[in-house]
Structure 1
Amino acid sequence: MVAFFDIKSYLEEISMPFFAILLDIITVATYLFQTSHGSTGVYIVGLIVQVVATLLLIGWCFTFRGRKYRNGWLFGLFSATISYGIILVSAAINALVLALYVMNVMGINHVIFQR
């Protein structure tokens, strides 16, 4: 019998963006904690949280098995589905914030935290 509705793929398509948003909330909460209780140890813990979140999101970008694109290439650009787009944007923003964290901990640039 052919299944017209695959519940497993539907749940994955719904749950992965939800977990991406949940990871974003956790990283924002960690950032807000660091801004109020800033010290070197707290910055290192925040860096670890950011590394884990970024690696998870990048992994989810490659292992997402739901529908990724709406209607192929349109005007030279692809149009991602909303669920896949949430994961992509979250991974990109977290990767940029991770670069700022690394620069802050190494003392190169203090854009994200003023010391």
Structure 2
Amino acid sequence: MFLSYVNLPELKCQPGWFILSYDRPYYSDDSSIAIELCQSFDRLIGFHKKTGYYFDARYEGDEYSPGGRINGTFSVTFQRFNFDINTSGYGDSTSTEKLKTDSIREFSRLLNDFVERAEQQ
């Protein structure tokens, strides 16, 4: 699946995120990053190590062509995990939110709002 980067927004993250995209992992320990939502954007996963927030974003639909309409659905799952003092790791999920949209702009807004909310915790 190929989405043209010219028409697509980007995901901006502050330090502390580990993000997996189709073609490469990103880790922002010291600096902020901006990931263009382009090429092979059929799955994007992110985890904020300081707050326990997690997202899983997917695109399911027809291949995108520049200037054409996106014929597919964007779905994103947001989760927050509680920190377990005994194991010094994250345990059970405390909240889960699943959303779907067919608008790339709405999807980008949802994803960026979630990232911002996770960073402010």
Return the TM-score normalized by structure 1. Answer: 0.27
Greater share of residues in helix:
1
Greater share of residues in strand:
2
Larger Rg: 1
With a CA cutoff of 8 Å and minimum separation of 6, indicate the structure with the bigger relative contact order: 1
Return the TM-score normalized by structure 2. Answer: 0.26
